[in-house]
Structures are given as structure tokens and as C-alpha cells.
Structure 1
Amino acid sequence: MSQPIHDAAQRGYTLAPDSYQRGRPEYPQALGGWLGAVLGVRQGAQVVDLGAGTGKFTQLLARTGATVTAVEPVDAMRAKLAESLPGVRTLAGTAEAMPLPDAEADVLICAQAFHWFANAQALREMHRVLKPGGRLGMVWNVRDESCDWVAAITDIITPYEGDAPRYYTGQWKRPFEGQSLFAPLQLTEFPHSHEGSFEQVVIDRIASVSFIAALPETERQVVEAKLRALQPRFAALREPRIAFPYVTQAWQAERLA
């Protein structure tokens, strides 16, 4: 039985699909080589994009020539994906209950998503859907907090996170401990930058964070005001075009027989 979607994800992503589409960064060009060489995402491969959201990562997968199936539980996000990528099969489903047959996929990948459903039941379901020897991939664009103004943004939003699962805690790794479904995780990192206006790379980006989007309107306005107050403090945020630094962390594990 599928576990319920966390309230911050259900409410936040239902309310903010447009902010998500505008504000979330794309992925570094070098990641394309990793997808092909390490995961085997290529022409003819059967690939499942789990927790596909509005399709930002799905479109990268589709460009490889692979046959891509997008699985997304939140209706508003899935509708945005289907609108922007009408040629991709898009299904309603969760990590714990994917509407797919056994051994369907050569590759199953989760972009910006695995921490939401990091549990043993989901890992068993991914093992079921993957072919023996198939690859599980997990990708996150992680804000580079060695930059002073990025750290200041984190300081503003962290008090609002509540019990929402977060990548930075590392709790998402727990289902892999002591299991025999997947080989040990392996990490590859890529420097990345999201370039655009302050409105796009800061305001829209933070508005798309699940637990921020799920706040009452008055509290969202408080968060936005705090973000705008950073511009006088940091010269980089007053430039017409801002480069928001990220590190893209790409994890993979082989599905064991």
C-alpha cells in the first residue's frame, strides 16, 4: 500500500507548479554524459522518471532518445508536465506503488525527489520495476552555501521547514543500510550555476520550495520581504543577471538480482 504524500509536498507543489517551473534550475551539461555512461540512459533504453514534477528533468531524459515514462503523484505538477511534454507517457503513481509491470525499466531515476519517499517499501518497489542489473539514479541540485548570500537565504528559510524531509540531513540514505536489493551508492559531483534575474533565481526559486509554498499567504509575504532585504546587503544580488551557485550531486546504485 502506498504511503501518504507528505503534506508539505502535496500542498506546496499543488500551489506552486508555476513557480517551480520558472524558478528551479536546469541541470549541468556534464550530467548528460553521466546519464549515458554510468546509468545507460540512451536510445532504446526504458527509463522511469519517478517524482517527475513538472518535467524539468524529464525533458533532459527525453532528449537522449530513451523511452521515458514519468510517474508523479501530485495532480497539478503532473498536469504541467503533460502540457509541456505531450509525447512522454505520464502516469499517476507513488514511489511505493508505481503502475508499472515487473522488470519494466533499464533505469529508474529520481531528480530532486528521493528524500520525499526514502523508505524500505519504496526501495522494494524500485527493485521490482527495474530489470536485474538496472540502475537507480538520484540527482539533486544543492545550493552552494560556501557563498555568503546563499547561506543567508538558507538562514531565512530553514526555520520554516518543520518536519519536511530534506536532502541535506542525509536521512534519505537510511533505507540503503543493511539491504540486499541494491549495490552500494556511488556519488559523482558537478559544479553548476543557475543564471537569471533576482526574481527568477531567488524569489521564484524559494517560492517553489515545498514548505515555503505551503505557508499561509501572509507568511509567504514575510519570507519574500526577508529575501528582498538581502539585495542591499550583497552587491551580487543587485546585478541584472545573477549566477546562483549549486553543486549537482548524482548518486547511482545497481539493482541486484
Structure 2
Amino acid sequence: MSKVVLITGASSGIGKSTAQLLSDKGYVVYGTSRNTKEGNQDYKMISLDVTEVSSIQNAIRTVVESEGKIDVLINNAGMGITGPIEDTPTDEMRKVFNTNFFGAIDVMKEVLPVMRKQKSGCIINVTSIAGYMGLPYRGIYSSTKGALELAVEAVRMEVKEFGIKVTNIAPGDVATNIAAGRYHTPVFDDSAYKEKYQMNLDLMDSHVDSGMDPLKMAKKIEKIINTNNPRVHYKVGGFMEKFSIVLKRILPDKVYEKLLMNHYKL
């Protein structure tokens, strides 16, 4: 029987590319987004808002009632946020944590009983290389992804005895529309960070525009699905993006901080 895959945030970017690739390869794919529209895709799209537990429950119930199982969950839904910590409204920070961290956790919590009953399953959480370091003007985004990485390390050990595989996959910059969808703290005229924040906003947008094709992530996700014993962490990106994680591990903190400050012209 074909594996049944549930993908959150499948209306664009990594989620859409992954849904299409897996569908082409014969998987039964259910993509989700908050607002679903009929399209010409080869997979089913259902409504799911990761910040609403009832919405998560309804979506999972729909898949299980239709297919009798969920073999793979790809926790991909997320949103970006930029801004100096001091200038960024705390309520906006909470919204991003509710999506990127608590949303992913809540989807896992609803899928785990299904997989435990099956005595099998695979959960792949899409995090970010940004989650391995506190990036200036992206500190909250880095925090949400870093928190998810650590929580998943724990979940992975907790569910291993039930035959459930859990892993993280952290992309670098991807050519998606996340820049358009992220919350941008305004560049306030009276902000102490005005000039450097604006400069870094432009830098971030250029990185996304020149980022890797999301199909590269989709292909890696498909390989992980078919791996008997997935690693705890995967990183997908350019050499320097992945090497930056190695450097943080081996360099003194202040040396690494200086490298980041030079890169972001701070």
C-alpha cells in the first residue's frame, strides 16, 4: 500500500514542492493550509490552522477516516519575523511562537496516538539553519526554530519504543515567498536601530531571492522517509550555511559573534 503523507503548509514553497514530488512518486498526499483553494495539483488539500487545536483534530480525523492511517507527518507550516528585539511587539513574537513552535508540537501531539496504534510512523519537522544561532534582527525566528529542534530531540527519544521515527531537517535560505509572508517590524524613524535594521532587511530579502530551489528540500525529505534509522538532525543548504554551524561548535563564543557582526555589518 502507498504511504499516506500529511504535509502542513503545503500551499507554497517547501511544502508545495514536497507535496508534488511525493504525489508524483505514488504517495497518497494530503497537503494543508489555512485557506484551501481548488487547484490543479495532484494531491488533496485540506484546511488546517496549526494555531487551532480543533482545526488540527478535524484535519487528522479527515485523513484517518479516508485512508485508515497516517504514515508520515511533515511539519512544515511556519512564518517569519524580523526586527530588533526592542522594537518588535511582544504579541507578534507570541504569534510566531504559536505557529512555528506550539503549532508544530500540537500537530505532533494529535498524530502520535495514530502512529502509536499503527506501531509505525515518521515525523519530519522542518526547522531552519537559523535555529542554530541567534541572528541579529531575526532573533525571534531563530528562537522558534531552535526551540523546536530541542523539543524534537526529546520527543524522538520518548516515542522510539513505539516504532515512530522523528527527525528535524533544517534548510538554509530557500527561494520561497516567506519574505512576503513574514512579519516585518516597521523601520521606525525614531528607532536606534533604523539604519542597520533597514540594511539587514535588504540583505535578508536578497538571500531569500537567491536561495536554493525548494525541490532540493523535497528530494531530501523523500530520502528521509525511506531511511530506516533517520539521523537526529539534517541540514540542507549552501556550504557556508552548513559550515556556520560547525564554526559555532568549535570557535570561542566571542570570535563567532564577531564573525556574525562582520557579516551583518554591525
- Normalising to structure 1: TM-score of the pair? 0.47
More strand as a share of residues: 1
Highest relative contact order (Cα 8 Å, sep 6+), 1 or 2? Answer: 1
- Normalising to structure 2: TM-score of the pair? 0.46
More helix as a share of residues: 2
